[in-house]
Amino acid sequence: MAKETSGFTWYKNSSSLLGRSSGSGHPQAYLRTKFNAIAAAKLDSSGKIQVGATFPEGSLIVKELFENTTTLSQYAILYKKSESPDADAKGWVWGYIGSKGKVVEPASNKGSSCIGCHSQADNIDYMLMNKYFP
């Protein structure tokens, strides 16, 4: 699912790589973020997340992490699936998966290493792209 690009919308409607932000919780130099069709309903016409949005069930948001401009190393995944045993209190399932399918941060951790940072001021339903890439 994370590898899929068809039917996805890129943040700010651009698939260009972005340099990691000062707040990024990962070492990779570049990133870009995509939203499946359900999640994209909460983007505005410029491809930014609508202020105050709550993403619907089935939303899949994937941040692709690149070591350099050509090497994708990891997918950071947020999937809203409330009925999952791995979902957090808001229904999100969190995980990191390597580019070759290796689980780096299992969903069963329920975002325990992610939620603290993603709860910071100005998050939108935990999302931070708008804050760091306005």
Q: How many residues bind ligand HEC (CB under 6 A)?
A: 24
Contact status: 82 vs ligand HEC (CB under 6 A):
no
Task: Output the smallest distance, CB 19 to ligand HEC, in A.
Answer: 9
Q: Are 41 and 56 in contact (CB under 8 A)?
A: yes
**How far is Cα 87 from Cα 126, in angstroms, rounded to an integer?**
14
Judged by CB under 6 A, does residue 87 bind ligand HEC?
A: no
What are the tokens at 110? Answer: 């329920």
Looking at 39, 40, 43, 76, which residue binds ligand HEC (CB under 6 A)?
Answer: 76
Using only C-alpha atoms, the chain has a radius of gyration, in whole angstroms, of 14
- Between the alpha carbon of residue 66 and those of residues 1, 13, 79, 82, the distances in Å are 18, 19, 20, 29
Residue 78 engages ligand HEC in binding (rule: CB under 6 A): yes
Cβ distance 56 to 32 under 8 Å? no
Among 31, 40, 87, 97, contact with ligand HEC (rule: CB under 6 A): 31
Residues near ligand HEC (CB under 6 A): 20-21, 23-25, 31, 33, 61, 63, 76-78, 94-96, 105, 113-114, 117-118, 127-129, 132
